[in-house]
Amino acid sequence: MSHRERTWVMVLASGGSDAHEWQKVHVDNPDRNQFGARLGGRSLLRMTLSRARLIVPSERICLVVDRAQKRYWSGSLAKLYCGNVIVQPCNRGSAVEILLAVLTMLERDPWARIVAMPSHHYVDDEPALTSSLLDAATPTAPTRDKLTLVGIQPEEADPELGYILPGCWLEDGTRSVHRVVNSSGKALAREMVARGALWDSSIVAARAVVLLGVLRARMPGLVDQMETTMAQGDSPDVRANALTQLYARLPSVDRSLTVAEGAEPVCRVITARPCGWSNLGTPRRVASVIRRLQLTEPCTKALGRVRRVIAPRAVQTPMKVEP
């Protein structure tokens, strides 16, 4: 690593996904439910921020939230450094979220290396996952100009998760990426597991300039629009208004359609140490964790309420964005 390069952790808490609705309704009210109590009175976001602090100093942790969600995270935001909270006007998918974060980071630190991770992951063994994230955050010769993905050894053929099919081993212990599958379905999920694929954790580490290059190659029009918008004056209010206008016309673009799937030649993957990882992105995944933690009726009833308030998922649109 160049002496000028520094690692930053980018926590992606923006959203509209099932996971965030679950956190808002249930996990972030630990005094009223068994699941929150089992987490030690902490929300998943606070757990993610604690995980980040084991990787980098607090001043190099940034958080991306939606404007409408910011009030739900008030307690967690209090411990972040001023200026490290990046606010989106609204949710436009995880790829747009990452793009805004990367451009903001490059303004602050052109040599930044980013570990981007969602805030809706639950793990049984925090030290094990943190150790793997430290591996991902440490560049090697084969990974310095690549995207490092973090794969999870699958426990089942889960059709709701993405998959990474590793390729050949490299001298630093990482592997090339043969294929990334976004939405698998039951049959393809079984095939992927049988072929030795890993669950895609959606955690990615890369130099900010490399990550921006991948995004530009996959959605050049959107990147150009975002760069133009962010160049509109130094005033926070002017930029916020410009971003609001831009987001009003943007499509929803998922990270897996840009950062990984189709970008396999520039990716490397590491397999996380066993840690009891779960992506709480759907009610079914949440229910699975509830069963694993042996929680009972109150949690099940709360999950039913979450199902009723979760809005249908936004349909992912093609990445091509008109100028």
61-75, 201-215, 225-239, range with the lowest pLDDT = 61-75
User: What is the value of pTM for the model shown?
Assistant: 0.82
Mean pLDDT value across residues 90-103: 92
Mean pLDDT value across residues 127-131: 94
Percentage of the residues of the chain whose pLDDT score is greater than 90 = 45
Tell me: pLDDT of 79 over 80. Answer: no
209-260 pLDDT, tens digit each: 999 999 999 899 999 999 999 988 668 888 889 999 999 999 888 877 677 6
Structure tokens at 76: 């967690």
Look at residue 318 in the predicted model and tell me its pLDDT: 39
Average pLDDT, the chain: 80
262-280 pLDDT, tens digit each: 789 999 999 999 999 988 8
Residue 12, SS3? strand
Look at residue 94 in the predicted model and tell me its pLDDT: 87
181-190, 251-260, 294-303, range with the lowest pLDDT = 294-303
Q: Which residues pair with 181 in a beta bridge?
A: 163
18-22, 42-46, 119-123, range with the lowest pLDDT = 18-22
pLDDT band at 286 (very low <50, low <70, confident <90, very high): confident
SS3 content of the chain, % helix, strand, coil (to 5): 45, 20, 35
156-169 pLDDT, tens digit each: 999 988 999 999 99
Region for residue 12 given its phi and psi (left: phi exceeds 0; alpha: psi -120 to 50; beta: otherwise):
beta
